[in-house]
Amino acid sequence: MSVLRFKALESVYTRRPLEVEAPSDKISDFYASNVFGKKAMREFLPDEVYKLVMEAIEKGIQLDRKIADHVAMGMKSWAMTKGVTHYTHWFQPLTGTTAEKHDSFFQPTLDGAALEVFDGGQLVQQEPDASSFPSGGIRNTFEARGYTAWDPTSAAFIMGKTLCIPTIFVSYTGEALDHKAPLLKALHAMDKAAVDVCQYFDKNVTKVTATLGWEQEYFLVDAALYTARPDLMLTGRTVFGHSSAKDQQLEDHYFGSIPERVNAFMRDFEVESLKLGIPVKTRHNEVAPNQFECAPIFEETNLAVDHNLLLMDVMEKVARKHNFRVLFHEKPFAGINGSGKHNNWSMATNTGKNLLSPGKTPKKNLQFLTFFVNTIKAVHEHADLLRASIAHAGNDHRLGANEAPPAIISAFIGSQLDAVLNELEEKVHTGKMSPDEKTELKLNIGKIPEILLDNTDRNRTSPFAFTGNKFEFRAVGSSQNCAGAMMVLNTIVANQLTDFKIEVDKIIEKGVDKEEAILQVLRRYIIESKNVRFEGNGYSDAWVKEAEKRGLSNIKTTPQALDAYVSKKSIELFKRFDIHSEREIKARHDIYLEAYSKKIQIESRVMGDLALNQIIPTAIEYQNLLINNVKGLKEIFSASEFKTLAEVQIATIKEVSEHISAIKTGVEAMIEARKKANKVEGARAHAIAYCEKVVPFFETIRYHVDKLELLVDDEYWPLPKYRELLFNR
């Protein structure tokens, strides 16, 4: 075994699980203790200020500077009781992670003493010199200025010794440079459109919030083994590695007992998350070895998104303490399952009702059907945009790879609701309905069971599945910021609900009664969106064929999928709700394309480096061993004996040579392809060149390296193998 690999494995075997102590056995004792939420605000803000802040949060109004000063003062006092020394505006640039720039509260005074200072100005707005964040050309370097602005709807929190203030990040010319700003706009549009539609059913509804409950999948790898894998370190995935003789075939990992060291890690990051007010609730093993999942209780979408990003950050930090590295990449290991991040989504009213949960009465169920059918219609109309929202290099490995939903967007609703929609399609008509017809329909609508949860058989192969009282968007990648997918989903639903209202009102104006008008429009939507509904096995080849017949797209790669962001239809949609200007969405499109190209470029370089500097030299070393062996045999034995005795060795020498030469030629050709791709102008063409001309080499080079892994003496092999990465914990 190579020295590096040996040392790495040796250190794994000497690890003991860290003893973890929660601050208290009762979570309620420390839950949200690091959050400047309602409880802390009530304690640290004057009553009046507290009330104004609450009102501003609820109605989305801006706080004036004086009030902000009071809030800042309260925040600072609270934070200082917890030993905080610095503050930062915490934001979500388009790089995919979060960003922070820490400033100290400390300020020297003229008389040589010092003060702790933090005022409303510093709370509300900051100008991080963030000129190197991607802006898609929106900010020229000479005006390299963007600013962050406080989002009071997501509470400030403490990480380590720093007070973190959730903010949006925008350019001085007003364009969003982050994920949060457009998400907030989409949520606002959703709220307004949904409230308007709710008025048909319940005049008390004044606010609708989109809810999100994500499920985060991830892998854990021992830190020492991770460090011995440059590909994991630099790209988050293994670019080489023969599959382990045993991996997930026995299905013994899923929901199995959680290994001790992993359990200690989970407990530890859960405690840290709970202190941050992240309501983590479930944890379990996933399908692949060393793959796990964690999910919180759902929350308002903006907050849920922030919490997901925070959790990922906390997990990374806590993992290091336990000598683990956490992998969020969508496909860290070939041949076994990758990781996703299911986005459970619904809409909730201020009256405490889940709009995607059927009720007890025909009226409530008509409301349910309205939101249900409008969502399906929205998905049908904007399937390509939804597909774009989950497009990025990592997810290309997963979508359609028989472990994750295909790249075809379809909706699964379960046999019961399928039957309900079919019935509506059949029975409702545009002429005036007879009283009998109406009564019958009402009766049937009333029969939708209140609890569908147990009845919707869980079709795991659908990218967008109704699971009883929410939709589950399953194609989101594990490393992605949910904000992208949630921005799109909420925008398309807002759009659909707005159209729906206009259409229903038109029919009502003609003298048709409200319920009938609603049913008529719903029926049309059911018919128009029928193609997107699919109840069967989404992983099957038959579905790929069927979807093609239905005219549904199956866009397999990121550069192509991203096109939908800048289609005429999408640009109109974003403009309609003031979510993105054309310039802004085009800039964003460029940024996503560039991110794709860069990721592929890095993977390709890592692959080339490893192949040339580690794999080929190792293979040659082993080959020399064989050559010496053959030479020795020749010296000792007679020519005829030698022929039989050295046969295997000579064949192996040849085989190794063939692989070496295939790898070398592959890498050289890949480098040439990269050079050519680099010269291609335009973000889209550049990304497509990487996708079509560089990526194909990955598979062929890998094939030969993985073959060598099986041939070369284990003593020499430099990289920790899959069996070591996946089963040490």
- Which residue ranges make up the site for ligand ADP (CB under 6 A)? 211-213, 215, 295-298, 344-346, 354, 467, 469-470
Distance of CA 89 to CAs 65, 70, 162, Å?
17, 18, 10
Residue 341 as a binder of Mg ion (CB under 5 A): the answer is no
Residue 486 Cβ vs ligand ADP, minimum distance, rounded to whole Å: 11
Q: How many other CB atoms are found less than 10 A from the CB of residue 506?
A: 12
Q: Which CB, 342 or 392, lies closer to Mg ion?
A: 342
Strand partners, 216: 294, 341
How many residues interact with Mg ion (rule CB under 5 A)?
Answer: 1
Residue 214 Cβ vs Mg ion, minimum distance, rounded to whole Å: 9
* Strand pairing class (114-116; 106-108): antiparallel
From the list Mg ion, ligand ADP, none, pick the one residue 478 interacts with, judged by a Cβ distance below 5 to 8 Å according to partner type: none
Local structure of 416: helix, strand or coil: helix
Residue 61 Cβ vs Mg ion, minimum distance, rounded to whole Å: 36
Q: Which CB, 473 or 565, lies closer to ligand ADP?
A: 473
- Kindly provide the b/e burial profile for residues 107-128, where b requires at least 16 CB atoms within 10 angstroms of the residue's own CB: eeeeeeeeeeebebebbbebeb
> Which of 213, 333, 216 minimizes the C-alpha distance to 283?
216
Q: Which CB, 50 or 473, lies closer to Mg ion?
A: 473
From the list ligand ADP, Mg ion, none, pick the one residue 684 interacts with, judged by a Cβ distance below 5 to 8 Å according to partner type: none
Q: Tokens in use for 65? A: 């500077």
Helix orientation angle between 582-610 and 647-679, rounded to the nearest 10 degrees:
150
Strand partners, 126: 148
Is the dihedral angle over the CA atoms 262, 267, 270, 272 positive or is it negative?
negative
Residue 335 Cβ vs Mg ion, minimum distance, rounded to whole Å: 24
From the list Mg ion, ligand ADP, none, pick the one residue 136 interacts with, judged by a Cβ distance below 5 to 8 Å according to partner type: none
Strand partners, 411: 464, 533
Residue 141 Cβ vs ligand ADP, minimum distance, rounded to whole Å: 42
Residue 472 Cβ vs Mg ion, minimum distance, rounded to whole Å: 5
From the list Mg ion, ligand ADP, none, pick the one residue 125 interacts with, judged by a Cβ distance below 5 to 8 Å according to partner type: none
Local structure of 340: helix, strand or coil: strand
> Which of 213, 218, 196, 219 minimizes the C-alpha distance to 371?
196
Q: Which CB, 118 or 328, lies closer to ligand ADP?
A: 328
* Strand pairing class (471-473; 291-296): unpaired
Q: Which CB, 229 or 342, lies closer to Mg ion?
A: 342
Residue 676 Cβ vs Mg ion, minimum distance, rounded to whole Å: 43
From the list ligand ADP, Mg ion, none, pick the one residue 444 interacts with, judged by a Cβ distance below 5 to 8 Å according to partner type: none
Phi, psi of 636 (to 5 degrees): -80, -40
From the list Mg ion, ligand ADP, none, pick the one residue 469 interacts with, judged by a Cβ distance below 5 to 8 Å according to partner type: ligand ADP
Q: Which residue is nearest to Mg ion (CB)?
A: 342
Q: Which residue is nearest to ligand ADP (CB)?
A: 213
From the list Mg ion, ligand ADP, none, pick the one residue 297 interacts with, judged by a Cβ distance below 5 to 8 Å according to partner type: ligand ADP
Q: Tokens in use for 186? A: 């989409």
Detail the DSSP E strand segments found in 446-506. Answer: 464-466, 471-473
From the list Mg ion, ligand ADP, none, pick the one residue 298 interacts with, judged by a Cβ distance below 5 to 8 Å according to partner type: ligand ADP
From the list Mg ion, ligand ADP, none, pick the one residue 34 interacts with, judged by a Cβ distance below 5 to 8 Å according to partner type: none
Q: How far apart are CA 147 and CA 126, in angstroms?
A: 6
Q: Which CB, 353 or 659, lies closer to ligand ADP?
A: 353
Residue 121 Cβ vs Mg ion, minimum distance, rounded to whole Å: 43
For the residues of 543-558, what is the DSSP string, one character each? HHHHHHHHT-----SH
From the list ligand ADP, Mg ion, none, pick the one residue 212 interacts with, judged by a Cβ distance below 5 to 8 Å according to partner type: ligand ADP
* Strand pairing class (411-412; 464-466): parallel
Q: Tokens in use for 661? A: 């030469």
> Which of 408, 428, 601, 609 minimizes the C-alpha distance to 507?
428
Residue 281 Cβ vs ligand ADP, minimum distance, rounded to whole Å: 7
Per-residue binding string, Mg ion, 296-335, x by CB under 5 A, is ----------------------------------------
Is the dihedral angle over the CA atoms 699, 705, 709, 710 positive or is it negative?
positive
Q: Which CB, 470 or 704, lies closer to ligand ADP?
A: 470
Residue 462 Cβ vs Mg ion, minimum distance, rounded to whole Å: 11
From the list ligand ADP, Mg ion, none, pick the one residue 354 interacts with, judged by a Cβ distance below 5 to 8 Å according to partner type: ligand ADP
Q: Which CB, 459 or 529, lies closer to Mg ion?
A: 459
Residue 342 as a binder of Mg ion (CB under 5 A): the answer is yes
Q: Give the binding site for Mg ion (CB under 5 A).
A: 342
